Chains A and B, each alone.
Chain A
């Protein structure tokens, strides 16, 4: 049942390593694209939920409903729904990137689900940033003759984004992890490709049967790849949250300590 040599020989088989690496590339590209798109949608939702009042408060309700709906239901649920109901633009009905046209279509639909789901979480993160900006900033902006849009653009949003950079980065980690949910519906990204090889590992390991050590080797590789990517990101998050003390104290700080 356990034959490490046979199991490791799977990785040396022609095409296996490339197959897995392509999965890694797909995982990363899917996650990065999902983060970028959902950051845009999430920002709009957060602004609508936070600042729409008066006659336009219907937008606030819509944004709130969207955020709460997607935040409180599982990602897989939306993947299944999009597989059935999501329309696919003509551009995504051809084969591309080494995927068949069926796979491209599934990928597009699952990607839409991922973006819908992540944007609700992004919206809440950005809202946290917006709420951390003091209300006085608005008053100060208005007193200087800025319009609300200008205040948001030049004063509030830059501060809000800067405040949530660590949280956004950890959401990138979550998105990379969440992209493995696509393994439920298609064989495109890392998780599904490893599982696909495992399903027919008896053809590769030369032992003629599936071995327990196959699971350890193949999933071990996947564990290592995910871990290296995400751990690097989480180290970045930590260094952003606790920056090393600067050698020269800033003037503002010295002034405070002098008091």
Chain B
């Protein structure tokens, strides 16, 4: 802990600031592309889960259950070793993007499913009675209503995805955590534990804290508004009665 105040240790971190920036960049890159993949998968499987067609629902169920119930570390390791052992040239970042994307996609699919199912059934029936097709119903009627339910948990999942980039360490990653660890244990750079971890933690916190705070205040506001409107409906009902 003493090196927390030692200018030497801080100087070392400053000299190697490129390492931290590179790690942060890699983490950000993995997270952003992983998030895009997760969103795509989440929407596809979420729609499949609410399609009402048995085989599609079964496929979505299997996807969600399998990836939600096994650790991301294992999934990423599996993907990496299968590629490495079969002699393919493996990009660590790409492995991370794919496995994190698929893993988070399972959570996104559940979020999308819950969002769509929260829209009252009558809305689907009303849309059908007006001659809307599936795509039109989803795009014009269901999606706008479920968006506010979907977005807060999605932001939370994005935060989790960002934190989970640390899994890359096990496959010899180039992310922020891995580079920080090799910095503090490196032969020429080693020693400056406290400042290095402080910088690394701060970088994670700076990204995750605003996002998770946004998600929770958003969710609370929605809950409060729902409660208020429920109370108003109740009052109106008693007045009418």
Contacts and interface: CB of A to CB of B under 8 A. Distances in A.
A212 B82 contact: yes
A50 interface: no
Contacts of A81: 197
A154 to B, nearest CB: 26
A223 B200 CA distance: 31
A50 B89 CA distance: 52
B204 A227 contact: no
A223 B209 contact: no
Interface residues of A, number: 39
B73 A183 contact: yes
Contacts of B70: 177, 223, 226-227, 230
Given A80-B197, A173-B68, A195-B77, 10 more contacts: A77-B197, A80-B177, A85-B1, A85-B193, A177-B69, A177-B72, A181-B73, A183-B170, A191-B74, A234-B65
B82 A234 contact: no
What is the interface of chain A mostly: helix, strand, loop, or mixed?
helix
B166 A219 contact: no
B197 A215 contact: no
Interface string B73-96: 110011001100111000000000
A68 B78 CA distance: 32
A219 B197 contact: no
Given A1-B86, A226-B69, A74 B164 contact: yes
B209 A72 contact: yes
B77 A72 contact: no
Contacts of B167: 76, 181
Contacts of B213: 68
A216 interface: yes
Contact of A227 (B1, B66, B78, B181): B66
Contact of B208 (A73, A80, A231): A73
A73 B169 contact: no
A76 B65 contact: no
Contacts of B201: 73, 77
A219 B81 CA distance: 10
Contacts of A234: 65, 68-69
Contacts of A69: 205
A180 B159 contact: no
A22 interface: no
Given A71-B212, A231-B65, A222 B85 contact: no
B77 A219 contact: yes
B20 to A, nearest CB: 13
B18 interface: no
B12 interface: no
Nearest to B69: A230
Contacts of B87: 1
5 contacts: A72-B205, A74-B165, A74-B166, A183-B73, A234-B69
A180 B177 CA distance: 17
Contact of B71 (A85, A198, A211, A226): A226
Interface in A48-77: 68-69, 71-77
Q: Which of A77, A81, A210 has the most CB of B within 10 A?
A: A77
Contacts of B184: 84
A164 to B, nearest CB: 15
A184 interface: yes
Contacts of A1: 85-87
A231 B106 CA distance: 14
Interface string A67-105: 011011111110011001100000000000000000000
Contacts of A71: 208, 212
A130 B57 CA distance: 35
Nearest to B72: A177
